[in-house]
Amino acid sequence: MDKVFISALQVPTVIGVYDWEKQIQQTLVFDIEMKTDIRLAAASDDLQLTIDYAAVCQAVTELCAVPHQLLETVAEKTATMLLQRFPTTAVAIRIGKPGAVPQAATVGVSINRGDW
């Protein structure tokens, strides 16, 4: 099975459990892989037969327009949305939250959903 991927998608959002976090925007960094079969798209050179990564980026950005407390929630909602809206059988999502812990470059979560 083939994969379409997006690396280091930066999305500003309101996220966090602390009161001060609910007052500011922070940047989340997404790495996304989506399992799909690209053979028909490759043979026909037709975007409609594959996953449009620009549409995926827009959908993730729109999902993050709503404030959340936990990265886990964002990851789960992102996976569910991608599996429902795009022609993929499985997704792998890694979300980093740079600056959340001063001693670390980033912290975050990583999930796999679907038929890996």
Q: Given 3, 35, 77, 97, which residue is catalytic?
A: 97
77 belongs to the catalytic site:
no
Q: Report how far residue 94's alpha carbon sits from residue 8's, in angstroms, rounded to the nearest whole number.
A: 9
| CA neighbor of 38 nearest in space, from 54, 29, 30, 49 | 49
Could you tell me where the DSSP H helices lie in the chain? 39-44, 53-63, 71-85
The tokens for 50 are 């594959």
| Residues annotated as catalytic (active site), given as ranges | 97
